[in-house]
Structure 1
Amino acid sequence: MTALGALSAAHDSRAFSDSARVAFGAAYPDRPAKLTHDLVDHPLLTLDALATLAEKMPADAVEYNLGALPLGVRPEDTPSNGLTLGETIRTIESNGSWAVLKNVERDPDYAALLDAALAELEPIVARKTGPMLHREAFIFITSPGSVTPFHMDPEHNILLQIRGEKTMTVFPVADPALVPPEKSEQFHGGGHRNLIWDDAFMAKASHNLLQPGDAIHMPVKAPHFVKNGPAVSVSLSITWRSERSVAEGELHSLNALLRKRGLPVVKVGEKPESQSVQRLLYRIMRKLGV
């Protein structure tokens, strides 16, 4: 066990209180919900620990750039900050940047942290959407005033605010005005997470201020953007997939195949995991390369 791992083991408090788990259970899987957590002082989540972790990670597991971005920005237009990742994290207070460390569960100490937190929620999740699949963790390190543009994510997600504050602006799930069906089809085919922004969308927004000790449950593909507060922010995102999220991806991928051939698309229902015939059709078409 590493020195950080030993410190982590000594930090034996639960991630979520009983009241947080009740709030999560009432909202999961379809509604966002403000929660609380108890990982603010965790030794694996200090800036020094995160800089050390970042320097060990492969290039495909990190993403960082300047943080002063518009709400809508094309991926190819995102500007570099001109620094290494280690420099970015160690000077995050002054360099105006945003960084994410992806799949930190590849490190055994962070894998243990992820597993312990998700174990507290697993019984609730299992009753509603079955086993937790593809468990992953991401850490966001953000300079004051940075913006994460309007986007969506494919996982069930709880974001835990560790340091600083940010406002998470969340929009309704499955609203075709926000995410047209064609965008979902492209997304599940490997397209970028960023969405096209329109100022008219703000009428549908819910604004959630997250301070240290706050967390928020984000449903699969809930459109959102994030504005950092006046200090450095560190956030931990713990995620998983379910049969429901996998099924939804399969059905949108099926629709992409059908649309490409000028055929009628299928309706993606509220419980896509129950659409077994359409899911089987997608798997057959994919296997045959149709």
Structure 2
Amino acid sequence: MNDPWRFAVSDAKTAVVTGSSSGIGLGIAEGFAAKGMNIVMNGISPAEKVEPLRQRLEETHGAKVIYVEANIMKPEGVRALMASAAEAFGRVDVLVNNAGIQHVAPVEEFPEDKWDAIIALNLSAAFHTIRAVVPGMKASGWGRIINIASAHGLVASPFKSAYVSAKHGLVGLTKTVALEVAEHGITVNAICPGYVWTPLVERQVPDTAQARGISEEEVKRDVLLAAQPTKEFVSVEHLSAVASFLCSDDASSITGASLPVDGGWVAQ
């Protein structure tokens, strides 16, 4: 059966997915590759470490895939990423702002450098990438911007002051840009996942256990999955499917939305 969301080679769209060497970003990049898009992967891992993943996406899906090592916490890193995308494919049609970091600590103990880093990557980097791609999308009359926010863009949890602030800001940025570009064939949406078992979540478990004075298993059962009525982690494949749908013509009237994919978390 033909896939109505798959792009023909002659009309292949180019997608930049930040933070796509693992976890959610890699899953979305793979989903896009399966739909026939050109893919610009991004991360801070050395290119040789990511090369097997890049090759697998190309060989499995017949897609054109490049990897750009760039630290997008700095505007010059964003410029390098976008320059590489333009050189390889000419334009950027789809932007997924996925890159993120986390730190867990009480607010009075929260390190200043951690606050600055989380805001820089989880929020400011999205501003810089969006600012870079909007002119080209306006010129072509089509574009899709997808910000991977979080359920923490809609509700809060203790000990995550920087992350919750950044993700709430990302939801606000999503709404603002959606209004600005609404008449140019560009949609801007945020996907708000609940807990997905990724390296980012796995790394925060020990810190949360220390902050709360409980075991790591109790963190998973009583802190992470306690928030999700399904009592199951969200899968990367679920998020990839939502991102692919948002790129389809069927989703052209969805813009400025914050879409929870969270096992019912924010419904409570």
Do both share a fold (TM > 0.5)? no
Which one has the bigger strand percentage?
Answer: 1
Larger radius of gyration: 1
Higher RCO by CA contacts (8 Å cutoff, separation 6 or greater):
1
TM-score normalised according to structure 1 size: 0.25
Name the structure where helix makes up a greater proportion of residues.
2
In the superposition, the TM-score normalised over structure 2's length comes to 0.26
